[in-house]
Amino acid sequence: MLKDTGERVIPEKMKITNDLLIEHIARYQFACQYATGRVLDIACGAGYGSHMIAKKCKQKIEEVIGVDIDTKVIRYARGTYYHPMTTYVEADINSLDLPGKMGSFDCIFSFETIEHIKDEKPLLKHTKKMLKDDVILIVSTPFGKGRGIPSGYPHHYHQFTMEEFKEMFEREYNNVKFFFQHGALIVPADFDTKEYFPIGLAVCRK
């Protein structure tokens, strides 16, 4: 039985009104407009998001590969969210040989991942290497006090400020669109806004 860590989204064990579930489902719904060809879902967790992309976008995708480092969660995804267009793979996204093993993709999603990694540079390097030309990388992460500062969440190394998040992707990509999320609401980012948005999304093209 897959255990709830307090952050892991397992729809079968959550109420439909759960805010964490709503946020995660909204991100995959947002991603559906970009999904095409061969899709990689990094840190896919229980597999519900990869499954959602496969079912909703089956007319425009070739396959979805969900990757996670957790053996138990990959086993759960295979058993609970099987779809003929989806494959779940146990792998470390920071592994140096991952791009060679995975190949290239038309679209890569990585939701709520980089805050769990002490150094995000390998992740950014590997995803960029695996992206075909003029295709999409979508990354989301919660905002916080900044790089290297404890966030209060036991599974997060840190949470980036809005400015750090913006700079991180503008440094890597020439074409980036930013969005903010609050609950199910995802809107174009205004970095001068006084309104509170806890989560940022970056939609990047090479």
| Domain residue ranges of the chain, discontinuous segments joined by + | 20-205
pLDDT 10s digits, 150-197: 888 888 999 999 999 999 999 999 899 999 999 999 999 999 999 999
Q: What is the mean pLDDT of residues 17-21?
A: 94
Task: Say whether pLDDT at 26 is over 90.
Answer: yes
- Rounded CA-CA distance 95/125 in Å is 11
Coil, strand or helix at 153: coil
Distances (CA, A) of 132 to 24, 31, 108, 138, 153: 26, 17, 10, 14, 35
Distances (CA, A) of 70 to 25, 41, 66, 129, 192: 21, 14, 12, 23, 38
pLDDT 10s digits, 35-90: 999 999 999 999 999 999 999 999 999 999 999 999 999 999 999 999 999 999 99
Task: Say whether pLDDT at 5 is over 60.
Answer: no
pLDDT of residue 94: 80
Matching CATH number, 20-205, of 2.40.110.10, 3.40.50.300, 3.40.50.150, 3.40.50.850: 3.40.50.150
DSSP 116: G
- Rounded CA-CA distance 24/145 in Å is 22
- Rounded CA-CA distance 126/3 in Å is 29
Token pair listed for 66: 């969900």
pLDDT of residue 2: 56
Tell me how crowded residue 17 is: count the other CB atoms within 10 A of its CB: 7
Strand partners, 111: 140
pLDDT of residue 7: 65
More confident residue, 159 or 123: 159
Q: Hunting for tokens 């979805």 — which residue is that?
A: 64
- Rounded CA-CA distance 178/147 in Å is 19
